[in-house]
Amino acid sequence: MPESSRARTATRLADIPPTIFAEMSALAVRTGALNLGQGFPDADGPPEVVAAVERALASGRNQYAPGRGVPELRRAVAAHQQRHYALELDPDTQVAVTTGATEGVAAAMLGLVEPGDEVVVLEPWYDSYPAMLQVAGGVARPVTLRAPDFRIDLDELRAAVTPRTRFVLLNSPHNPTGTVLTRTELEAVAALAIEHDLVVITDEVYEHLVFTGHEHVPIATLPGMAQRTLTISSVGKSFSFTGWKVGWVSGPPALVDAVVAAKQWLTFTSGAPLQPAVAVALDEHDDWPAALARDLQERRDLLCAGLAAAGLPAVSLPQGTYFATSDVSTLGWDDGDAFCRALPDRAGVVAVPTQGFYAAPDAPGAGRHLVRWAFCKQRDVISAAVERLAGADLTA
């Protein structure tokens, strides 16, 4: 059927490549390779929480939920922030439920960013940030976390702020580098935000996936920051339910209102039977994410030892999240994307190239040759993958 020449993607999205995570998972399915690419666990979260969805489905929670989310989930989110971080939130005005953190990010961009506003953002970034910033008409001002230690260069951070800057978009624990921002780094961001009257939008979906010796500090807990910070999180990573797509935002009422203003036209409301179950997860399974983090730490070590044995040592030991990064230039590759596309054939394994998460992947210290491995997979999958890598010819 010949299609109309007008049947095409609008320019605001047309130049953005399709998300690499889906592309790499499709490659894994097509080739039968072990998937250490897309970040989703291959084991589910607490069965009691799954049972809570089944109860909700069977007891008539099947019509539209309130736009801001069901009251018990908003209360559970507020109680979680109180319990873990001593943040006091009014569940009616300072919390809203979103369709995953992804909608939280999108609605924050659409609801808050004016065309031309500059947004200081860490790179490498989560791919939805630049996409939604572009849709909103905002301008990204990247601050690069450079290998091998992936820290914020505070001078660069300060230099990224101009009179047009209105926002800082943070992500800690950080995907893909595994960096957990320190209190000192966050204090520097906070000082800058207060000095220039910036709003901080912080994606904390990996808030509980932090390893020994590191601590997640929500920037909203720093003095003067609760009133200028929008925090985004989700059930996906903390409870291994990435397919549920239930997230939330919290912060001062004006910021939450702006998210809801956009959210109502995106999805109107999020999945009704999932929300009471997520409240059960937060209220009744508070220890589950910490146990997951302990387990993930062992899997991190298993993966990193195997990568080192295969000649692809992790650039740095991940402090949080479930991702590790290797530099494939050690094996003669100057392009991580080419490496990842060859990897299923060479070794029967899939990883994600991170070069697409940089504004300028060839800039000094950027990521043309970096690839990311997910260790949220079962131990036998990780072991089999690193065995395959060790047995393959991986040179360029």
Query: Nearest approach, Cβ of 38 to ligand GLN (angstroms)?
Result: 5
Does 240 engage in binding with ligand GLN (CB under 6 A)? no
Of 85, 77, 44, which is closest to residue 234 (Cα–Cα)? 77
CB 247 within 8 A of CB 97: yes
x-or-dash string of contact with ligand PMP, 92-131, rule CB under 6 A: --------xxx-----------------------x-----
β-pairing, 118-123 with 139-144? Answer: parallel
CA 372 to chain centre: 13
Match 């589950």 to its residue by tokens: 288
Alpha helices in 218-372 (DSSP H): 235-238, 253-266, 274-284, 288-309, 336-347
Using CB distances below 5 to 8 A depending on partner kind, what does residue 19 bind out of ligand PMP, ligand GLN, none?
Answer: ligand GLN
Using CB distances below 5 to 8 A depending on partner kind, what does residue 234 bind out of ligand PMP, ligand GLN, none?
Answer: ligand PMP
Query: Nearest approach, Cβ of 176 to ligand PMP (angstroms)?
Result: 8
Query: Nearest approach, Cβ of 334 to ligand PMP (angstroms)?
Result: 26
The C-alpha atoms of residue 176 and residue 326 are separated, in whole angstroms, by 11
Does 39 engage in binding with ligand GLN (CB under 6 A)? yes
Using CB distances below 5 to 8 A depending on partner kind, what does residue 100 bind out of ligand GLN, ligand PMP, none?
Answer: ligand PMP
CB 312 within 8 A of CB 106: no
x-or-dash string of contact with ligand PMP, 155-194, rule CB under 6 A: ----------------x---x-------------------
Query: Nearest approach, Cβ of 277 to ligand GLN (angstroms)?
Result: 21
Total number of residues that touch ligand PMP (CB under 6 A): 15
Helix (H) or strand (E) holding 167: strand 165-171
The C-alpha atoms of residue 273 and residue 29 are separated, in whole angstroms, by 30
Of 149, 140, 173, 169, which is closest to residue 230 (Cα–Cα)? 169
Query: Nearest approach, Cβ of 175 to ligand GLN (angstroms)?
Result: 5
CB 285 within 8 A of CB 49: yes
- Beta pairing partners, 350: 35
x-or-dash string of contact with ligand GLN, 140-179, rule CB under 6 A: -----------------------------------x----
Binding site residues, ligand GLN, CB under 6 A: 19, 21, 38-39, 175
